Amino acid sequence: MNGLAMDPPARRSRAGGGLLARVAWLAGAVAWALAAAVGALLAVLLGVMVVTAALFASVCLALAGAVIKARRALRRSADPTLIEARHVGGHSWVGYGWDGHG
């Protein structure tokens, strides 16, 4: 054997259980815990944003429904004796609704 593939036993034991390895393992555990905490925080924030967007969307839909209902109420309360006229060009107008009043 060429000696490059085999490390002496003293070198192997020092590399696997030294103080630096323990510090690196501790730093990795702390980094993992921080990453998990940040991930959990981001998940909560995303959930809050989705709920807020849904709330705003429902408010917009409710307002749109109220506007449509108000417009329909205004159309119903119009005077039934009024006729509608549309300008078709020049001095010409076309009236609608006059033939329905006997």
In a domain, 45, yes or no: yes
Overall pTM surpassing 0.85 (yes/no): no
pLDDT digits (tens, 9 = 90+) for 1-35: 555 555 555 555 544 568 888 999 999 999 999 99
| pLDDT tens per residue across span 40-87 | 999 999 999 999 999 999 999 999 999 999 888 776 656 667 777 888
DSSP state of 100: G
Domain that holds residue 52: 9-100
- Domain assignment present for residue 49? The answer is yes
CA–CA dist 7, 18 (Å, integer): 16
**How would DSSP label each residue in 48-81?**
HHHHHHHHHHHHHHHHHHHHHHHHHHHHHTS-TT
Mapped onto helix, strand or coil, the DSSP state of residue 5 is: coil
Residue 3 lies in a domain: no
Does 24 map to a domain? yes
Q: How many domains does the chain have?
A: 1
Q: Is residue 51 within 8 Å of residue 71, measured between CB atoms? A: no
Kindly state whether residue 4 falls inside one of the protein's structural domains.
no
